[in-house]
Amino acid sequence: SVQKIMRFLTNKTSQVNVLILDACRDNPFEQNWNPQARSTDGGRGLAKIPAPTGSLIAYSTDAGNTAADGDGTNSIYCLSLTKNMQIENTTLDQVFRNVRTDVLKASGGSQRPVEASQLTGDAFYLKKGTFSNEIILIDSLIEVKDYKKGLELVIAILNEDKNNKSALIRKGRLYNIDGENELAKEAFDLAINLYPRDKETFMYRGRYYFVVDEKGKALQDLHQAIELDSNYVDAYFYLGLVYQDLENADKALSNFTKAIELDDHNSKIFGFRGDFFEKILKDYNAALLDYSEAIKLNPNLTWNLYK
């Protein structure tokens, strides 16, 4: 029974439960019980069931009606539903409104999907937007030091998705670059609280601690990032920089070298290791080899980084 399924779901969580019934059909056994059933409206479709608090029950057609099977493998309701569930940044309510529009059109108005909803709290999204294009633009703005525009875009993303990890990280980076260190730390801390098993959040907070000269905390976060992903190139690279500042040449070199082993096409890391060989170890031959490799990988390198 539907009630049994709903009890199972609500026992799991009282926050958001969704039950979709694409099953509004004539009862195939009813004619055996009542030969006159198919000539009346009483035997058609499913009755409407009230949704428990925190739940939504969706029906492929209204109570007392039957739904079209469609011409293919799936019903017109199912086809519309699977399409609309994949649209980013569309609330659950809007998904079912879109489906209703599609099915009414496809059925010529004869099939009208309905929902019984008792959802509470904030809008629920089946597929949150990644804002991937906006994040790429923000990164490019960071490169050209247009921090004001970058921050405007970050805040716009967070207004739509307050827990967006990529936006929180870039908010921290932008505030850090702009000298607003407390606001930067607040953004990084929130990202880690929300995503405590995410390597990127720890790596970027480690970078932040390095910039503000809290090297002990930087080491802790960068090692945590590597614990989460032992092949995390950026974490090894920044560990190299931190150990270089701490005048621990052996650990600096081992981390720079590990980063290159994992990514031997990264011109930046070759350039920085070359700088380390030249200025710290005074190993000019090794420095020249790394500088040459960096330039080979990227002939457009800004030379003053590696002079």
List, for residues 284-306, the tens digit of each pLDDT value: 999 999 999 999 999 876 654 44
Kind of pairing between the strands at 55-59 and 17-21 = parallel
Strands of 17-21's sheet, edge to edge?
A: 17-21, 55-59, 114-117
Q: Distance of CA 188 to CAs 151, 194, 211, 218, Å?
A: 15, 10, 14, 13
Contact 221, 209 (CB under 8 A): yes
Contact 48, 35 (CB under 8 A): no
Q: Distance of CA 83 to CAs 59, 87, 99, 102, 127, Å?
A: 17, 7, 9, 10, 12
**Residue whose entry in the numeric block shows the structure tokens 């170890």:** 281
The average pLDDT across 157-174 equals: 93
pLDDT tens column, 237-278: 999 999 999 999 999 999 999 999 999 999 999 999 999 999
Per-residue DSSP letter, 265: T
SS3 142: helix
> Which run of H or E residues covers position 257?
helix 249-262
- Integer-rounded Cα radius of gyration of the chain: 29
Predicted local distance difference test score (pLDDT) of residue 64 = 72
Distance in angstroms between the alpha carbons of the first and the last residue of the chain: 75
Distance of CA 111 to the CA centre of its chain: 36
CA 59 – CA 262 distance, rounded (Å): 52
CA 299 – CA 281 distance, rounded (Å): 25
Distance of CA 263 to the CA centre of its chain: 25
Distance of CA 196 to the CA centre of its chain: 14
pLDDT tens column, 175-232: 998 899 999 999 999 999 999 999 999 999 999 999 999 999 999 999 999 999 999 9
Residue 38: which pLDDT band, with cuts at 50, 70 and 90?
A: very low
Tokens of 58: 């969706």
At 275, give phi and psi (nearest 5°). Answer: -60, -40
Contact 19, 54 (CB under 8 A): no
